[in-house]
Chain A
Amino acid sequence: MNAPRAAWLFLAPALLVLGIFFLLPVIGALGLSLTDYDLYALADIHNLRFVALHNYLALLQRPLFWSALGHTVYFVAVGVPLSMLTSLGAALLLNSPLARCKPFFRTALFAPVVTTVVAVAVIWRYLFNTKYGIANFVLGQLGIHPIDWLGDPHWAMPTIILFAVWKNFGYNMIIFLAGLQAIPPELYEAARIDGASAWRQLRHITVPMLGPTLLMVGILTVSGYFQLFAEPYVMTEGGPLQSTTSVLYLMYDEGFKWWNLGSASAVAFLLFLIMFAVTAVMLKLARCGEPREQEPA
């Protein structure tokens, strides 16, 4: 057996799977988004018509699409910085030479990451229950009126953001921890000798040295948060008053509730384009910011 043939045989199963179950459907989605594939076409393929960019243009005129996009951007814009700051804070604490019982704290803080979104969302629905939830009970003790966390359009998304931060911060914490441990201790040594305060060490050593990690984590977290779906599905069913309907929630409803597969594919592609553009902008900004000092993302 010669080497190239062996290599292709080793690659074949994985490439076939990715080709058939990912590449082909992605190309199919592009095609599908240019048709009016709906319930009638599902019943009889002869009802299918080519509509060019009609789905996209129709979406751009639908208030529901813009509000779903708005909710998703809200979730990303508030959730990602909050999540990353929590992760970075936890990693800094864990990395401190003064911290005790590190393995225990590391495990405890990471535990929410391995749990199932649906299951823990059910718990949070109870914690933030208007009547019996412990959140309102604690607020009540402080003399604050109960908040209708998941039933008030103003509070539903903040509650979901809080949930997402709790659930996800442990993952990035581990990545940051790895990044922190890779910073040479001599740098801090030198800074201490020069009399730099802890805050200045953080700003002038830790953050610049973590730069590439911050960028990578930032991009991954942003694309993860753009894919918001399970949390509103379980906690609010997209409500109240559609205040937690995300872009993917819209795609799911459009595709698998109303069977407008053509229009749903257009939603998916628009989401992809938006995510792609945001990632490109982040990379660009990071490159521009490189000569100067890097701000924490």
Chain B
Amino acid sequence: MNPRTAKLLINGLLLGASAAALFPLLWMLSVSLMHPGEAGALPPPLWPAHATLHNYRELFLRAGMGRYLLNSLAVSTAITALSLAFNLMAGYAFAKLRFAGRERLFRALLGALVIPAQVAMLPLFLLLKTVGLVDSYAGVIMPAMATVFGIFLVRQYARSMPDELLEAARIDGAGEWRIFVQIVLPLMKPIMVTLAIYTFLTAWNDFMWPLIVLTGQDHYTLPIGLASLAREHAQDTELMMAGSVVTVLPVLALFLLLQRYYLDGLMLGSVKG
């Protein structure tokens, strides 16, 4: 194969694959702007004849989508902030602070990764029911406040920090907390950004646990609200597409804005890990 054909073939394949990846998302946007019933036609229309925001109005005024959106924002933000703080502290301790049994404890945590999260869900539900946290924001947030993956990622990153820096601060009489806040945290900024985006996306997209613990629609997050709408309004394609846009757009926008940090962090984590 001569280089010209090869180049054409490779770029053609990339273009085709990208089109396949993006087409459903673009079409979702297009259908969400159609009038009710317009999408149920043959051939399937690619563009709305007259674009309308009718479906979005319907979602926010009647279907309570605004509430779900705020719930999702609140829950995902809280999970991101809290788990970032806890994972940073723990990951740093595993990397740089000395204590008996450190390596053994860390290995035990890594070992726990083989247990799928769903094993814990049934007793967790009973536990939260006992303390009255079923159907509350706390019920979604609290179990996500620390993750083994997050601790692992921070530890990998923190290990490359020079020990001399911390020793010098200790000799100067700085307390451990002050060292963490004033020296360690600024150095960890790149991994903080990566972990924050990753956690926010995971929390936003999480489905099974919120579905279990949120029993009333007042606390529904967007995926749960959308799934319940999809069962009620199975045939209202245009409305459902608008619901999908509202659910997907915030995370997609976040990803597009911060993708450099996210993808680079992901590649870094995979090579080191």
Taking Cβ atoms with an 8 Å cutoff, the residues of A that contact B are 1, 3-4, 6-8, 10-11, 13-15, 17-18, 21-26, 28-29, 31-32, 90, 93-94, 96, 98-100, 104-112, 114-120, 122-127, 129, 131-134, 137, 166, 170, 174-175, 177-179, 181-182, 213, 216, 223, 226-227, 229-230, 233-234, 237, 248, 251-252, 255-256, 261, 264-265, 268-269, 271-272, 275-276, 279
Q: Tell whether, in the assembled complex, residue A4 and residue B99 are in contact, meaning their CB atoms are under 8 Å apart.
A: yes
**B24 contact from A11, A127, A178, A179, Cβ within 8 A:** A127
Q: Tell whether, in the assembled complex, residue A174 and residue B25 are in contact, meaning their CB atoms are under 8 Å apart.
A: no
Any A CB within 8 A of the CB of B145: yes
How far, in angstroms, from A230 to B25 measured CA to CA in the complex? 19
Tell whether A178 pairs with B17 under 8 Å between CB atoms, given A10-B90, A21-B142, A21-B143.
Answer: no
Q: Tell whether, in the assembled complex, residue B207 and residue A123 are in contact, meaning their CB atoms are under 8 Å apart.
A: no
How far, in angstroms, from A25 to B124 measured CA to CA in the complex? 5
Q: Tell whether, in the assembled complex, residue A8 and residue B99 are in contact, meaning their CB atoms are under 8 Å apart.
A: yes
Any A CB within 8 A of the CB of B185: no
Q: Tell whether, in the assembled complex, residue A111 and residue B143 are in contact, meaning their CB atoms are under 8 Å apart.
A: no
**B123 contact from A29, A110, A114, Cβ within 8 A:** A29
How far, in angstroms, from A20 to B270 measured CA to CA in the complex? 29
**B21 contact from A24, A111, A127, A252, Cβ within 8 A:** A111
A-B contact pairs, 16 of them (CB 8 A): A13-B89, A14-B145, A14-B146, A17-B143, A28-B126, A99-B10, A116-B204, A120-B24, A122-B244, A123-B27, A123-B244, A132-B41, A166-B21, A175-B266, A248-B118, A271-B116
**A98 contact from B3, B123, B251, Cβ within 8 A:** B3
Encode B139-183 as 1/0 by CB contact (under 8 A) with A.
Answer: 000110110100100000000000000000000000111001000
Q: Tell whether, in the assembled complex, residue B270 and residue A14 are in contact, meaning their CB atoms are under 8 Å apart.
A: no
Chain A contact residues: over half helix, strand or loop, or mixed? Answer: helix
Taking Cβ atoms with an 8 Å cutoff, the residues of B that contact A are 3, 6-7, 10-11, 13-15, 17-18, 20-22, 24-25, 27-28, 31, 39-44, 85-87, 89-90, 92-94, 97-100, 102, 109, 112, 114-127, 142-143, 145-146, 148, 151, 175-177, 180, 201, 204-205, 207-208, 211-212, 222-224, 226-227, 230-231, 237, 240-241, 243-245, 247-248, 251-252, 254-256, 259, 263, 266-268, 270-271, 273
Tell whether A272 pairs with B115 under 8 Å between CB atoms, given A17-B145, A116-B205, A118-B230.
Answer: yes
**A25 contact from B17, B102, B121, B231, Cβ within 8 A:** B121
- A105 contacts across to B, CB distance below 8 A: 14-15, 17-18
How far, in angstroms, from A134 to B115 measured CA to CA in the complex? 40
Q: Tell whether, in the assembled complex, residue A25 and residue B118 are in contact, meaning their CB atoms are under 8 Å apart.
A: no
- A131 contacts across to B, CB distance below 8 A: 40, 42
